[in-house]
Amino acid sequence: MSEEKLPAAHAPAGTLDPFADPGLPEHEPRRTDIDEKAAKRAERQVSLLFVISMLATVGFIASYVTIDKYRIVDLFFFGKIGALNLALGVTLGIALFCIGAGAVHWARTLMTDEEIVQERHELKSSPEDREAGIREFQQGAADSGIGRRPLIRRTMIGAMALVPLSGVVLLRDLGPLPGNKLRHTFWGRKGPEGRTVIINENTGKPLKPDHIIKGSLTMAKPEGLNQETEDHQPNEHYLAEMGKAVILLVRLEPDEIKSKKQLEWSYQGIVAYSKICTHVGCPIGLYEQQTHHLLCPCHQSTFDLADDGAVVFGPAARSLPQLKITVNESTGFLEAVGDFAEPVGPSFWERG
């Protein structure tokens, strides 16, 4: 019977052609291994990286405390960007990068680079192996020179101790409590029955009832809420106010509306609801005309616009707040009457 060569997966143990063990290449000492001056220079470079990391962390904290969160800077190719976000990102990036770069440079230039053969063994180590492991660890620690190089040791500990402070200072954003700020929106600035013209968010023009077409979803904002102030300066409160005031207008058949209050707050079947999901505040934007359901893309909370904005599916715990609207008889524009009756958006402690 001729001897057939089996595929490797089926060959009996010990019958495969052995590979020649290439062995370890001859160890070549690095410059820092043989030149004490080069080693010192590398030590200073590593320490410098850790010091830069420390300075960057201090810069992060200083930026957080001193830069106005509404300040915008113009970065040519990147366009306009928040100065605070830019400063926090750059300083934190430098702090983390320098710790990583310092560690890599240290390992490549100063820690021992003797090649080691590690034999494979069973998962559970024998007591002797564990002892050997501890000895090797201690040997590695000794080889790294951490005991002999106090400059690196201290600067590394300093850099690593300071970096977590970046996270600690951000805790400041947990306070102060918002108080009344979340209870009022731009719609209510003229008082409880004050009227505000409803502006189409896309065109910037006032809306009339016949602009709201059945099956469409119209995003709108209050008149007077603009990106620029009247003297053409950037409106630093624009995003915060828009985040609370933005609404969606939908046209329903008046007889589809289930609740009396909802009907009274609508105009000829046009209803206005907050666009901000009551789960965790994503902007809602998917509308099913047949079911009158509004779907939040974040976690699929679904609200029934024909039933007071009630939650019919998903994690949201509260209905969407409705805004009372009417029409101005002389101009024909849709107007909001006062503010939302309840806070918009997700839960907060004192919402009640």
Residues that bind ligand FES (CB under 6 A): 277, 279-282, 296, 298-299, 301, 314-316
Q: Which is nearer to ligand FES, 50 or 303 (CB)?
A: 303
The string of DSSP codes covering 240-293 is HHHHHH-EEEEE--GGG---HHHHHTSBTTEEEEESB-TTT-PBP-EEETTTTE
Q: How far is the CB of 311 from ligand FES (least distance, A)?
A: 9
> Rounded CA gap, 59 and 44, in Å?
22
Q: Which is nearer to ligand FES, 217 or 334 (CB)?
A: 217
Q: Which is nearer to ligand FES, 92 or 296 (CB)?
A: 296
Tell whether omega for the bond before 176 is within 30 degrees of 0, i.e. cis: yes
Q: How far is the CB of 345 from ligand FES (least distance, A)?
A: 9
Cβ atoms of 300 and 284 within 8 Å: the answer is: no
Q: How far is the CB of 280 from ligand FES (least distance, A)?
A: 4
For residue 294, the cross-strand partners are: 287, 303
Q: How far is CA 248 from CA 49, 95, 200, 219, 337, in A?
A: 52, 44, 10, 5, 15
Q: Which is nearer to ligand FES, 166 or 301 (CB)?
A: 301
Q: Which is nearer to ligand FES, 209 or 281 (CB)?
A: 281
Q: How far is the CB of 158 from ligand FES (least distance, A)?
A: 41
Q: How many CA atoms lie within 13 A of 63 on its CB side?
A: 19
Q: How far is the CB of 110 from ligand FES (least distance, A)?
A: 50
Q: How far is the CB of 122 from ligand FES (least distance, A)?
A: 49
Q: Which is nearer to ligand FES, 308 or 335 (CB)?
A: 308
Q: Which is nearer to ligand FES, 206 or 309 (CB)?
A: 309
Q: Which is nearer to ligand FES, 137 or 313 (CB)?
A: 313
Q: Which two tokens stand for residue 337?
A: 């009457």
Give the number of other CB atoms < 10 A from CB of residue 266: 23
> Rounded CA gap, 292 and 248, in Å?
13
Q: How far is the CB of 302 from ligand FES (least distance, A)?
A: 9
Q: How far is the CB of 179 from ligand FES (least distance, A)?
A: 24
Please tell me the total number of residues recorded for the chain in this structure. Answer: 352
Give the number of other CB atoms < 10 A from CB of residue 87: 19
Q: Which residues contact 196 (CB under 8 A, 6 or more apart)?
A: 186, 187, 189, 190, 222, 223, 224, 335, 336
- For the chain, strand residue ranges (E) read 72-74, 80-82, 195-200, 218-222, 247-251, 270-274, 286-288, 293-295, 302-304, 310-313, 322-323, 325-327, 334-337
Question: 25 burial class (0-12, 13-18, 19+ CB within 10 angstroms)?
Answer: exposed
Q: Which is nearer to ligand FES, 167 or 297 (CB)?
A: 297
Q: How far is the CB of 170 from ligand FES (least distance, A)?
A: 22
